[in-house]
Amino acid sequence: LAGLGTLGLGLWLRFDGAVSELIALHGGTNNFNIACYLLIAAGALMSLIGFLGCCGAWRLSQGMLVAFFIILVLVFCLELACAIVAYSHQDLIRRYIDNSMYETIQEYYAINPEYAAVFDRIQNEFECCGVKSYRDWLHSSWGRDLVGRTELGIGSSSIGKVPRSCCNEDGLRDYPTNCGVSFDKLELWTYEPFLHTKGCSDALYESAYKNLDIAIATSVIIGALQLIGMFLSMLLCCWIGTEAKRNSDY
């Protein structure tokens, strides 16, 4: 069961669109795919190990049960180490993702259509804009007003446009054809009622934390199953040894 759960996790990470899009923002798709395939392979291996344990129990083979126990201990220790590293470095992971999103806005959105499409999809799906807020687009080569509105006496740092994917329902209704991209006539904050005000970083992590309880519960169940498997395999192994010794005495 633990192996099938790991296999399912690897398949989900590999083929889930939202996860793949986040990884694509930093150009790490190849490494991410390799990691997913390794996770899939680990799940398949764990399933095979479980089958080995079942065969050992069925055939009453001490050798197969000992091998099953040793491999299960190694897998459990590896999973525990990965969980500890992920938990202790969660702030670093968040900074990495935030920096990737900032880099996309500031450099790649204007020149790379694939990056632009990924970020637009995230902003649409999570109803967010920018990394921390829509003001992040003022620091991008795509969104800021390079000329400035000197006739209004306003510096260019406060004027700029945002993608259409930043617009909320009011914005799409009042600006059906040019929402966001036409918001460079006045200071950007004047268009705030028409924009998603939440940053995509917070929106993504809020969405992730909604499923955190399920992830924790699943991890605890998998870990408990592995511990039970270790205990039962050693218990059965000891029983087989005792029975073999008893039979030899006769």
Contact present, 246 and 95 (Cβ < 8 Å): no
For the cut 80, the answer to whether the pLDDT of residue 162 exceeds it is yes
Least confident of 135-144, 149-158, 238-247: 149-158
Choose among 85, 62, 78: nearest CA to 241: 62
Amino acid of residue 38? L
Cα 151 to Cα 39, 131, 142, 148, 185, distances in angstroms = 59, 31, 22, 9, 11
Contact present, 164 and 179 (Cβ < 8 Å): yes
Choose among 164, 157, 23: nearest CA to 100: 23
Which segments of 16-89 does DSSP mark as H helices, in order?
Answer: 17-24, 29-59, 62-88
Average pLDDT of span 58-87 = 75
Dist CA 144 CA 184 (whole Å): 8
Token pair of 107, please? 């450099």
Contact present, 180 and 162 (Cβ < 8 Å): yes
The DSSP call for residue 127 is T
Query: Can you give the pTM of this predicted structure?
Result: 0.61
Whole-number average pLDDT of the chain:
76
Contact present, 131 and 200 (Cβ < 8 Å): yes
> At 36, is the pLDDT very low, low, confident or very high (cuts 50, 70, 90)?
low
Token pair of 179, please? 């929402």
Amino acid of residue 167? C
How many C-beta atoms surround the C-beta of residue 121 within 10 A?
14
Q: pLDDT tens across 217-226, in order?
A: 777 777 787 7
The DSSP call for residue 250 is -
Dist CA 35 CA 55 (whole Å): 30
Q: pLDDT tens across 180-199, in order?
A: 988 888 888 999 999 999 99
DSSP-based three-state secondary structure for 144: strand
Percentage of the chain modeled with pLDDT above 70: 70
DSSP-based three-state secondary structure for 142: coil
